[in-house]
Every structure is written in structure tokens, then in C-alpha cells.
Structure 1
Amino acid sequence: MVAWAAREFASADPGWWLTSGRGLRVGARGEDNVRPDGTLARSETFLGQGEWAPTGGVLMVLDATSHDAETSCRDRTEKPRLYAESGISVYLLIDRDTCEVKVHSQPDGVRYEQVVTVPFGKTVALPEPVGIELDTEPLKDWAR
């Protein structure tokens, strides 16, 4: 799923990189460390940043739920709060259990004020700074 997303974002803007497993310092004061499944940023954003990078320059983060209940719960509850506190504009959650894509946007420093949910197979608009539409049809094949 992350490889599919990386291809989609690279074709939208060749200067974007969706890196997998990039360590980020998140939270209100940058005191928490997370590794999203994908981090979308300009190709030069993380140069010289080391293992745990600040979130400045991050356009979007992506997570896909796993079959591990604890990890999936963290993707749905804890991570959106941490990303919103960090000011990351867009959080894209690919939920394999519900076969839906959830786009979190408009962080207010505490939470995302807007969450748009669409079933796999529909097109979903990712707001600025990403500003593209994704056709989620291919996710149907990878959901289970």
C-alpha cells in the first residue's frame, strides 16, 4: 500500500518523496517519536536530520492499519492527536479493517478539525499542501 502511494505522489510531483519508516519527533513539544508508514515531503527535507527528524517541511503522513490490534488502535487514536499537535497538515489513514480511507486535515494544535472518510474504490481529495485526488480502487486488492 505504501509503494502504491509512493508511486501516486511521485507522479503528481516528482519533487515529492514518500519515505517509509522515517522517524519523526511529534507532539505538542516534539517529545514523542513515531515512525509513520509513509512521510510525504520534498526530496531534500530530511537531509542531515538523523534518525528522528522534526516535522517542519512534512506535507503529509500516511499509516495503514495492520492486523495487530494494538498498532491499529494507535493509528486511529494516538497518532492523529500527535500529528495534529505537531501541525502536520494532512494525515492519511488507510484502514484495512473497515476498507476505508480517512483524510484528517485542518489541525488546530490539539486535533484535526476535519476528517473525510471514503470507502475503498472511490476517489478522495487530499487538501493542500498536497492538493491532489487519489483513486483508491487499487486498495481493494490489498485490503486483506
Structure 2
Amino acid sequence: MTPGTAKYPQLTAEEFEQLARQAPETVTLELVKGKLKVKPVPDGDHGEIIMWLQEQCMQHKPGFGLYGDQGLVVENYRAGRARPDGSLAQRGYFAGRGEWSDPAGVLMTVEVTSYDSDTDRRDREEKATGYAAAGIPVYLLVDRDRGALLVHSEPRNGEYRQRTTYAYGDTVTLPDPVGITLDTEKLKEFAS
């Protein structure tokens, strides 16, 4: 393997955490598959989509919260660090866990695509692999470029075995253990 991969990361987890603490407020840093990733600060529509999802989770999954930008350890040997746009977990799960938490209690991660050149590889490929490797049961990708939601489920051997795509406006039932049904008509308001 070459430098910058999960086996030979560009940085150690400790080096990354130190760098991430010093990053400017205009970006979010992540360490995914051994590579340093820079994520731009979200725009207004991005924030509205996350707010809409938070409301859906609160209404349909009492006792759970969709936590924004909670740091998760997402790869073997603690080599990966990601800040999903949302992590669905029981309320109180992250209390006392620090900046980078074990994802064992996370039922679902959510990413909303950004309009930058790296979103294809980062959100559609690398994050899916990282979340599956961490055993997170559901990964929901809100793909603004395609006006679609991609539901990943059944993680096994670092990959999600099920991937289903829905258009904005479809009724989307997220698989167990999430078990929430979303009416996604509202997302059409944020289509590009």
C-alpha cells in the first residue's frame, strides 16, 4: 500500500486530532481511509435539510437525537475520523465521550452533499465505506446534485450490502433499527 491509505495514513490519529483542533472555522477536517479530507462549511440549504431531518427524527423516534457534526471513529485501529452531518443515537449517548466517539450506539449517519469537487468521492464512496466498516446500520446520503436520497444498509465486511435510491418527493422508509418513514416532498424546496 502507498502512503495516504488506511494501512499507511498520512497522519496518525493523534496528529490529525491536533491539526483538527487548530483548523479555521471555515472548514471541517476529517481523516477518511488514511487521507486528510477538507469539508467546506455548509450553506443555508444544507442546514435546512439537516434541520428538517432532525425534526423528522424527533417526531418519529422519541428518545433519539440527530446530532450534527459529532466526531466518530470510523475505521479499524482508530485510524479514521469523520464528522457526519448527522448521527442518530439515543439521547445522552455522546455525553462524556469526548470529541471522537465510538460509533457503536449510532443507528444512522447522514451526509448532505456539498457543491465542491471532492463531494463525489468523499460522500458517495469513502464515507459509505468508512461507516460500513464501523458497523453503522444505516447511512443516508441526501444527494443534492441528483435530487435523491440514497439509503445504505446491511453493513458487512466494510460495505453496505443494500443501496436503494429514492427521488425527492418519494416516501422513504429507513430500515431497522432506524424504522422511520420520511415524506421527502419538502426536499424539493432545496433542489438546485
TM-score between the two structures when normalised by the length of structure 1? 0.97
Letter in 1 for 2:103: T
Per-residue CA distance 1:76-120 (angstroms, 9 max, x = gap): 000000000000000000000000000000000310000010100
Count of aligned pairs between the two proteins = 144
Name whichever structure is richer in strand by fraction: 1
Stretches of structure 1 lacking an aligned partner (at least 5 in a row): none
Letter in 1 for 2:165: T
Which deviates more, 54-63 or 21-30?
Answer: 21-30
Per-residue CA distance 1:22-81 (angstroms, 9 max, x = gap): 100001333200000000000011110000001010010000000012134300000000
Which deviates more, 22-31 or 51-60?
Answer: 22-31
| Residues 65 and 37 (structure 1), Cα distance of their counterparts in 2 relative to 1, 3 Å cut | same
- Identity %, equivalent residues: 45
Indicate conservation of the 8 Å contact 2:74/2:82, yes or no.
yes
The yes-or-no answer on 1:33 pairing with 2:86 is no
Which deviates more, 63-72 or 44-53?
Answer: 63-72
Indicate conservation of the 8 Å contact 1:86/1:109, yes or no.
no
| 2:182 aligned partner | 134
Distance 2:189 2:107 in 1: 27
| 1:116 aligned partner | 164
Indicate conservation of the 8 Å contact 2:132/2:159, yes or no.
yes
Equivalent residue for 1:98, pick from 146, 151, 160: 146
Name whichever structure is richer in helix by fraction: 2
Aligned Cα RMSD in Å? Answer: 0.9
Equivalent residue for 2:111, pick from 58, 63, 69: 63
Distance 1:3 1:132 in 2: 16
Q: Which 4+ runs in 1 deviate beyond 6 A?
A: none
